[in-house]
Amino acid sequence: MARVDEHLRADDPGQGHGLNARKAAILEAVVSEYIGTAQPVGSQLIAQSPGVSVSSATVRAEMVALEHEGFLAQPHTSSGRIPTDKGYRFFVDHLTAPGVLGPSQRQKVHRFFDQVHGEMEEMLGRASGLLSDLTSCAAVVVGPSHVTATARSVQLVGMGPRVALLVVVLSDGAVEKRSIEHVEEVSDEQLAVATGILLGGTVGLGLAAAGPFAPIGDPVVDRVVVASAGALADLSAHEDHDQIFVGGPSQLAAAFDAVDTVRTVLAILEQQLVVVSLLRDVLGRGLSVAIGTEHGFEPLSSCAVVVAPLAVEGRGGGAIGLLGPTRMDYPRALAAAEVVGQRLGQRIGEALGATDPERGPTGQDREAAPGRSNRGKGTGGQRGDS
Q: What is the CATH number of the domain that holds 347?
A: 3.30.450.40
What is the structure's pLDDT at 217? 92
Average pLDDT value for the chain = 80
Over range 275-298, report the average pLDDT: 87
Same domain, 82 and 32: yes
What is the structure's pLDDT at 295? 87
What is the structure's pLDDT at 375? 53
Position 44 in a domain: yes
Same domain, 272 and 327: yes
Domain edge (last residue) among 178, 209, 237: 237
Q: What is the CATH number of the domain that holds 173?
A: 3.30.390
Position 365 in a domain: no
Same domain, 265 and 139: yes
The percentage of residues in the chain with a pLDDT greater than 70, rounded to a whole number, is 80
What is the structure's pLDDT at 5? 39
Task: Report pLDDT digits (tens) over 218-260.
Answer: 999 999 999 999 988 888 776 555 678 888 877 777 777 667 7
Confidence of residue 369 (pLDDT cuts 50, 70, 90): very low
Other Cβ atoms closer than 10 A to 80: 21
Same domain, 187 and 251: no
> Residues near 48 by Cβ (< 8 Å), separated by ≥ 6?
none
Does pLDDT of 382 surpass 50? no
Q: What is the full DSSP assignment across 207-240?
A: GGG-------S-HHHHHHHHHHHHHHHHHHHTTT
Q: What angle do CA 70, 30, 32 make, to 5 degrees?
A: 120
Over range 80-100, report the average pLDDT: 85
Does pLDDT of 365 surpass 50? no
Q: What CA–CA distance (Å, rounded) separates 60 from 75?
A: 15
Does pLDDT of 366 surpass 70? no
Q: Which domain does 257 fall in, by range?
A: 103-145+242-355
Position 14 in a domain: no
What is the structure's pLDDT at 47? 93
Does pLDDT of 144 surpass 50? yes
pLDDT higher at 384 or 37: 37
Same domain, 112 and 200: no
Q: What CA–CA distance (Å, rounded) separates 328 from 336?
A: 13
Closest by CA position to 367, among listed 114, 143, 60, 191: 114
What is the structure's pLDDT at 371? 37
Domain edge (last residue) among 178, 207, 237: 237
Same domain, 248 and 135: yes
Same domain, 215 and 351: no
Same domain, 136 and 278: yes
Q: What CA–CA distance (Å, rounded) separates 158 from 248?
A: 36
- Within 91-187, where are the H helices? 103-115, 120-135
What is the structure's pLDDT at 99? 76
| Alpha-carbon distances of 5 from 25, 27, 47, 51, 57, rounded to whole Å | 11, 15, 11, 9, 14
What are the beta bridge partners of residue 33?
Answer: none
Same domain, 341 and 260: yes
Same domain, 38 and 119: no
Same domain, 261 and 319: yes
Q: What CA–CA distance (Å, rounded) separates 23 from 63?
A: 8
Task: Report pLDDT digits (tens) over 296-310.
Answer: 888 888 899 999 988
- Within the chain, where are the H helices? 21-37, 43-47, 56-68, 85-90, 103-115, 120-135, 188-200, 219-237, 251-255, 259-269, 272-284, 330-355
Does pLDDT of 155 surpass 80? yes
Q: For residue 357, which amino acid is it? A: P
Domain edge (last residue) among 29, 63, 95: 95
Query: 3-class DSSP state for residue 28?
Result: helix
pLDDT higher at 355 or 327: 327
Q: What CA–CA distance (Å, rounded) separates 178 from 197?
A: 17
What is the structure's pLDDT at 146? 63
Position 375 in a domain: no
Confidence of residue 353 (pLDDT cuts 50, 70, 90): low
What is the structure's pLDDT at 276? 85
pLDDT higher at 108 or 267: 108
What is the structure's pLDDT at 246? 87
The percentage of residues in the chain with a pLDDT greater than 90, rounded to a whole number, is 40
pLDDT higher at 120 or 134: 134
Position 277 in a domain: yes
What is the structure's pLDDT at 44? 92
Q: What CA–CA distance (Å, rounded) separates 374 from 337?
A: 14
Q: What CA–CA distance (Å, rounded) separates 167 from 180?
A: 11
Q: What CA–CA distance (Å, rounded) separates 114 from 123?
A: 12
Confidence of residue 384 (pLDDT cuts 50, 70, 90): very low
Q: What CA–CA distance (Å, rounded) separates 248 from 203?
A: 37
Position 9 in a domain: no
Q: How many domains is the chain partitioned into structurally?
A: 3
Position 208 in a domain: yes
Long-range contacts from 56-64, C-beta under 8 angstroms, 24+ separation: 58/6, 58/22, 59/26, 62/10, 62/22, 62/23, 62/26, 63/26, 63/30
Same domain, 83 and 221: no
Position 270 in a domain: yes
Q: What is the pTM of this model?
A: 0.69
Confidence of residue 185 (pLDDT cuts 50, 70, 90): very high
